[in-house]
Structure 1
C-alpha cells in the first residue's frame, strides 16, 4: 500500500469545479454531482492533484449555494448524499483529492438556526446571529457596508432589530462570539470529515467575527479596487471592525485541531485591506490554515512588476516568521472575469492561455486553476435580461457581476448546448466557447488542453518547482525573471508578458545555461548572452 503524504497540498494543483456549470446529467440545465462523476477521467487526465467543488449544499440559491440552509445535505438540484459518496470514491480511485467549500461566516435566512433566532429575543438561538438595536432615529447601528451594496444591516420586523449581513440580506452573519455557534459550526465541518473529504476551501473566512462594540469603520485612505469593483462604495472604508478581528485566530486554531484529527487540508480565502499580512497571520505556526489565497492576482492589473510585488511581499512576510505558512496562487475563479479577458484582453490567443498555466505553476506555492482555463475560455457577455447574479444586477452596467465567468463548460461542439446539457442551460454558452470545446482540443497536440496536461505532468516531476525557493532578478517590463532553487539545484525562468518579442541579457553566473525540456512552453531561447522571448513566450534554463 502506498504511503500517505500528509503534505500533498504543498505545491498542489487544485482545479476548481463550479458545479452548476460543469456537467448536467439529468437535463434540467444545471450541472450536478453525477455530472462531475462522469468527468472524473477528464479531471484525472489533466494531471491535477485535487478538485475543489464549490457549494452543493441545500440552499435557496439566492447566491447560488453560498447561502447554505443545511450544511449536512446535498441540494436536490445537485443530487444526493449518496451521489457525493460515489463522487468521493471515484475521485480517490483516480488518485484525486476532494476539497469542498465551507461557508461558515453566514448562512441562508432559510436555515433552521436563523428561523429560530429571528422568532424572538429570548429563544435558545437568539444570540446565534449578530443582532443590534437601531439608533434612536431608527437608522442602522453603524456605517458598515455590504460587499453586495448598501448597508450591512437589515431591519427585521419580528425582533424589531437589525441583523448583520456582509453579503446579501438573505445571508445573515453568524455570531462567532457565541461559543455554542463555534461548536455547532465545527460539528458541521466534522460531518464532511467523517465522510472522507480531503480538505476544505473556507469562504469569506475573515468575516467570522465582528467588533462587539460595533464601532464605525473609518474612511479608506485609498479606495480598495482589488477585492471589489471600483464603483462599489464598500472599497471606500477601512474595514477595521467588520472583519479580520483578533478573536478569529483562536477559532482557526480550533478548526485546525479538528482538521489535523482527520489529516485534512485547508485553504482560506482572504479578501482583506492588507491581504499579505492577513495571509501570513492566518497560515503561520502550523496551527491555523495550511495555506491561503487572496484577490491580489485576481485584479485587472497585469504587469510583471505587479506579479513580482505580490509574490515578493508574501516572501518577505514569511521570512519574518519562525514557522511560515504557505501560499496558494489564483489568477481566476468564479468571482472575477476570466483571465483571458481580464489580463489577455481577448487578444493573447492560445499562447497567452498556455503562458498563464505555466506562470501559476512556476511560482512558489500551490495554485488554483478555474474550470475552463485549460480550454482558454474568455469572459462571456451576458445580456441584462439573462443575468442571474444579484451582485451584477445591483451594479449594472458598470459592473456586470460574476455570470460571465460562470457559463457552462463546453464539452462537445457538435451537440446541443455544447454537450453540457440536453436542456437550455441556466446561463447561455457563447459561440466562441463552443469553438474551444474540449472535444475540439482533444486531438491537436498543440491545443491548450493538451499543453496543460503535458505541462502539469512535467511540473509534477520537478521537485524544484514544488518545493524550491524563489528569487526575483532585475528585468524591465514586460519580462518576469526569477530563479527557483532546491537542494543545490537552480532553474532560471523568464516570461514575456506581452504580445511583442523581448530580448534581455542573461543574468550574471548564468553563462553556461542549458534549456530545459518537457515543459512544452514555446517562445524562449538563449542567443549568446541573451534570452530571446517570443510574444507570450517563456524560457526555463538550468546551469
Structure 2
C-alpha cells in the first residue's frame, strides 16, 4: 500500500469495538455467548455507529485460557457455532458497513494441536523443531530460569523426547519456534485462510514474545521487584520479551497481509511508550496500529494526561497513525476506576484525540468490574498466581442487556456472573438520552461527521487549573476540546467564539459560546470555532 493509500486507509477514521463472543450474547441457553447470538445484536452495533468489530478467539480450543489455547486455527469451536455461522456474521457486519477483525495468536498453540502432538513424539519427526525444545540443565532441571506468566517455570518436561518445551503462558500452551521457516509458512497459511474468507484484518496477540534468546540466557532479577511484585515478574524478561528478532516476525506477518487490499494489522505490544515506535517499522512496515493503553496507565489528572499524550505522540514515527485503547479483555474496567462522571470525560477524550479509538464491549455504557465469587473463578491467572489482584474475570463477565435475572444475555446460567446492579444495562441507557451510551453514540457520529476530528492535526494547549484541553485543526477548521477533570467548577481560559458541538451535560449543545468560559464539575465540551 502506497503512502497516499495509507493516508486514506479506513482504519484512520474507524472506531473499533472489541467483542468477546463468549460474553456478548447467548442464543441457545447454554450460558456461553456464540456467533448466532452476535448475529442477533448487529443492529445494536449499527445503531451505536462503530466501524469495525474485533473478535477474541472463536477457534477450536480446550478453552483453558479464554480460547487463546488453540487446537485448530482454521476451525470454529462448536461452542460458538459453525463456519456457516461465522460467514453469516461476516456478511451481516459487512452489510451494515462494519469491518471484521480476528485475533491472530502466532506465539503458541494448545498442547492438543496436531502440530504439537506430532512434535512431542520424537526428536526426528517432521515437526520436531516446530516448538521451542531444549535439553535439561546440568542438574536435570529446566534449561534456565525463564518463568511462565502464569507462575512457575516456563519449561515443562516431555518424557517421550527427554527434553523440555517452553511455554510463555500455561503448560498447555507450548510456544512455537518462529526461527523455523516451516512454522512461519504454516502461520502465513492460517492468515490466508481467513483473509480469503473476507476478514478485514488481525489483532496480533503477544507479538513481542515471538522470539526468545537463542542462547537461552538467564533473565536477571528485576531490581525494582518487591514483596508486592507477582512471582512471574520477579525477573526482568530481557531474554524472553521484545527481542530484536521479533520485529522480523512482525514484518513477515505484515508482508502476508499486504498481499491483500485494505487489511489492518494491529497488535498487542509490550514495553513503555518510548518503545512503541519500533512496532510501526521503518523501511520494512510492521503494524499499522500497535495498540496503545497509555490512557489506562496514567494518573487521571490534567498534568499527567498532558504528559502522557505528548510522550505518546512524540514516540510515533513519521507516517505512523496513533490509536488509543480504553478497555480490553485483560484490562480492568475503566468505569470502576473513574466513576460515572469522569467516564463521560474519558468518552469525549477518546473520541476527539487524533488517532483510532478502541473500546471493549460494555465500555460504552459504563460497565464496571463484576464481583466473582471464589467458586466461580475461571481465569487461570488468578488460580495460579493468587493474591495479587490479577483476576481478569471481572472485566470478562457477560454484558447486561436488560434488567432481568439473566440480563438478556442468556436464558440459562451465565458462564460468569452478571453485574449485580441491574439498572446498569444497555436497554435502560438506550431509553435515556442523557446516558453514557447515548453520549458515545453522539460522539461517534460527530467523529464521522467532522473531518477535523477524524483526520485533523492535534494542537496541544497548556493544561492548567485541572483543565486538559487541546485543538484539532484541518485546513481552516478548528475544534477545541476542554475537559474539567475535577469535581469543582473551573475557568477554561480560551479565546474566541464558536458553537458547542457536544457537552457531557448536553444542555450546552448548539449554544453559541465565547471564551473564556466556566466549566461545571466533571464537564467536557467540544467547540467548533467560527472562521
Fold match by TM threshold 0.5? yes
Per-residue deviation at 1:52? 0.6
> Partners of 2:220 and 2:187 in 1: how far apart?
31
Give the structure 1 partner of residue 208 of structure 2. Answer: 206
Give the structure 2 partner of residue 265 of structure 1. Answer: 264
Instruction: Mark the CA change 1:378 to 1:195 in structure 2 (over 3 Å): closer, same or farther.
Output: same
Give the structure 2 partner of residue 21 of structure 1. Answer: 23
Deviations 1:304-338 (A, max 9, x none): 333333321222123xx4x4322221121110110
Give the structure 1 partner of residue 413 of structure 2. Answer: 424
Per-residue deviation at 1:400? 4.7
Give the structure 1 partner of residue 231 of structure 2. Answer: 233
Deviations 1:274-315 (A, max 9, x none): 343234443545722111113433337333333333321222
> Partners of 1:199 and 1:19 in 2: how far apart?
17
Instruction: Mark the CA change 1:46 to 1:230 in structure 2 (over 3 Å): closer, same or farther.
Output: farther
Instruction: Mark the CA change 1:503 to 1:376 in structure 2 (over 3 Å): closer, same or farther.
Output: same
Worse-superposed segment, 439-448 or 93-102: 439-448
Give the structure 1 partner of residue 288 of structure 2. Answer: 290
Instruction: Provide the aligned C-alpha RMSD in A.
Output: 2.4
Give the structure 1 partner of residue 456 of structure 2. Answer: 468
Whether the 8 Å contact between 2:13 and 2:448 is mirrored in structure 1 is: no
1:371 counterpart = 2:358:
no
Per-residue deviation at 1:221? 4.8
Per-residue deviation at 1:518? 4.3
> Partners of 1:382 and 1:538 in 2: how far apart?
34
> Partners of 2:385 and 2:512 in 1: how far apart?
49
Deviations 1:408-430 (A, max 9, x none): 1111223x401111110000112
Instruction: Mark the CA change 1:513 to 1:232 in structure 2 (over 3 Å): closer, same or farther.
Output: farther
Give the structure 1 partner of residue 485 of structure 2. Answer: 497
Worse-superposed segment, 513-522 or 380-389: 513-522
> Partners of 2:459 and 2:119 in 1: how far apart?
52
> Partners of 2:109 and 2:363 in 1: how far apart?
30
Worse-superposed segment, 257-266 or 51-60: 257-266
* Partner of residue 333 from structure 2, selected from 338, 352, 359: 338
Instruction: Mark the CA change 1:532 to 1:52 in structure 2 (over 3 Å): closer, same or farther.
Output: same
> Partners of 1:152 and 1:275 in 2: how far apart?
27
> Partners of 2:428 and 2:202 in 1: how far apart?
33
> Partners of 1:251 and 1:195 in 2: how far apart?
23
1:513 counterpart = 2:497:
yes
Give the structure 2 partner of residue 144 of structure 1. Answer: 146
1:161 counterpart = 2:163:
yes
Whether the 8 Å contact between 1:130 and 1:174 is mirrored in structure 2 is: yes
Per-residue deviation at 1:234? 3.6
Give the structure 2 partner of residue 217 of structure 1. Answer: 219
Whether the 8 Å contact between 1:523 and 1:539 is mirrored in structure 2 is: no
> Partners of 2:149 and 2:256 in 1: how far apart?
30
Give the structure 1 partner of residue 80 of structure 2. Answer: 78
Whether the 8 Å contact between 1:270 and 1:279 is mirrored in structure 2 is: no
Whether the 8 Å contact between 1:451 and 1:520 is mirrored in structure 2 is: yes
Per-residue deviation at 1:215? 1.4
> Secondary structure of the residue that 1:427 maps to in structure 2?
coil
Worse-superposed segment, 123-132 or 466-475: 466-475
Give the structure 1 partner of residue 425 of structure 2. Answer: 437
Aligned residue pairs: how many? 522
Instruction: Mark the CA change 1:180 to 1:42 in structure 2 (over 3 Å): closer, same or farther.
Output: same
Instruction: Mark the CA change 1:150 to 1:493 in structure 2 (over 3 Å): closer, same or farther.
Output: same
> Secondary structure of the residue that 1:516 maps to in structure 2?
strand
Whether the 8 Å contact between 1:496 and 1:502 is mirrored in structure 2 is: yes
Give the structure 1 partner of residue 311 of structure 2. Answer: 313
Whether the 8 Å contact between 1:99 and 1:200 is mirrored in structure 2 is: yes
1:302 counterpart = 2:339:
no
Deviations 1:366-397 (A, max 9, x none): 01111111111111111111111011122333
Give the structure 2 partner of residue 409 of structure 1. Answer: 399
* Partner of residue 382 from structure 1, selected from 372, 381, 398: 372
Whether the 8 Å contact between 1:283 and 1:326 is mirrored in structure 2 is: no
Instruction: Mark the CA change 1:220 to 1:521 in structure 2 (over 3 Å): closer, same or farther.
Output: farther
> Secondary structure of the residue that 2:486 maps to in structure 1?
coil
> Partners of 1:495 and 1:309 in 2: how far apart?
15
Whether the 8 Å contact between 1:329 and 1:365 is mirrored in structure 2 is: yes
Q: Which ranges of structure 2 fall in alignment gaps of 5 or more residues?
A: none
> Partners of 1:518 and 1:464 in 2: how far apart?
15
Provide TM-score, normalisation by structure 2: 0.92
> Secondary structure of the residue that 1:418 maps to in structure 2?
coil
> Partners of 1:5 and 1:308 in 2: how far apart?
26
Per-residue deviation at 1:85? 0.5
Whether the 8 Å contact between 1:282 and 1:289 is mirrored in structure 2 is: yes
Instruction: Mark the CA change 1:397 to 1:245 in structure 2 (over 3 Å): closer, same or farther.
Output: closer
Whether the 8 Å contact between 1:473 and 1:483 is mirrored in structure 2 is: yes
Whether the 8 Å contact between 1:305 and 1:477 is mirrored in structure 2 is: no
> Secondary structure of the residue that 1:72 maps to in structure 2?
strand
Whether the 8 Å contact between 2:70 and 2:110 is mirrored in structure 1 is: yes
Deviations 1:502-542 (A, max 9, x none): 22433xxxx21323324665488999753322222112234
> Secondary structure of the residue that 2:407 maps to in structure 1?
helix
Deviations 1:52-84 (A, max 9, x none): 111000000000101111000000010011100
Give the structure 2 partner of residue 454 of structure 1. Answer: 442
Give the structure 2 partner of residue 534 of structure 1. Answer: 520
> Partners of 2:391 and 2:299 in 1: how far apart?
18
> Partners of 2:25 and 2:514 in 1: how far apart?
50
Whether the 8 Å contact between 1:501 and 1:534 is mirrored in structure 2 is: yes
Instruction: Mark the CA change 1:450 to 1:542 in structure 2 (over 3 Å): closer, same or farther.
Output: closer
> Partners of 1:492 and 1:390 in 2: how far apart?
45
